[in-house]
Amino acid sequence: MEKDNSKGQGSFRYTLVMYIILLILVVPGLFFLIPRAKQNFANYHIREHYEMWMASKDDSNIAYYPVILFSNGKEVNVERKITNASTPIHSLLEALISPLNKTEKNNMLSTFIPEGTKLIGASYDGGFFFVELSKEFLSSKDIDKALEQIKKTLNLYYKVESLTVISDETIFKI
C-alpha cells in the first residue's frame, strides 16, 4: 500500500500561502507604526526627564533643569532651579531665560538671551517648536547665538526638528 502525501503537501502549501499573506499585510504596517512608536518613546523620554529633575524637599513645586550657558565662549550645561514649574517646556524655557544669578556671574558664565526677556508662550507638535518671547529678546548682542542657545537647550530634552521664535512680530526660524 502506498502512502498518500497529498494532504500533507496541501497543508504545507496552505501554511506557506498564509505566511506570505501575513507578511504582505504586516510588513507595510510596520513602516507606518515604527516611526509612531519612536515618537511615543520620545514622549515617554521627555516625561522621564521631567520627573527626574523634579525635586520636592518641602512639598513645593520646584524643578531643576539643565540649560546651555557659556563660559569663555564655550557651551556649558548649568542646572537651574525653577519654582512653581508648570509644563516641562515652559519650565525649561523659564529656566533658560531667567537672569544669571550671583553664582553664575561669579563663575564668569554668560548668556546671549538679554536680561528682562519674558516667555509669552511656547508649544510643540512632534519636533516642531514655537516660542514667543517679549521684545527684549531683540536686544540680544547676537540673535543667531541666542536662537542656537534656545535650540540646544530644548535639544537636551526634546528632538528639535524646527524652531520658530517670535518676538515683537519678528519671526525667526531655525
Look up the pTM and report it. 0.63
Contact status, residue 154 vs residue 163, Cβ threshold 8 Å = yes
Write down the pLDDT at residue 165: 93
CB neighbours (10 Å) of residue 6? 7
In which band, very low, low, confident or very high, does the pLDDT at 4 lie, cut at 50, 70 and 90?
low
The x, y and z cell numbers of residue 38, run together, are 519612536
Write down the pLDDT at residue 55: 43
The x, y and z cell numbers of residue 138, run together, are 531683540
Residue 82's Cβ-count burial label (10 Å; 0-12, 13-18, 19+) is buried
Write down the pLDDT at residue 143: 92
Question: Residue 38 pLDDT more than 80?
Answer: no
Q: Output 19 or 135, whichever has higher pLDDT.
A: 135
pLDDT in tens, 42-94: 444 455 455 444 544 444 567 777 888 888 888 888 888 877 666 788 888 88
Q: Which phi and psi angles does 105 have, rounded to 5°?
A: -65, -40
pLDDT in tens, 127-137: 899 999 999 99
Comparing 75-84, 102-111, 135-144, 152-161, which segment has the lowest mean pLDDT? 75-84
**3-class secondary-structure state, position 17:** helix
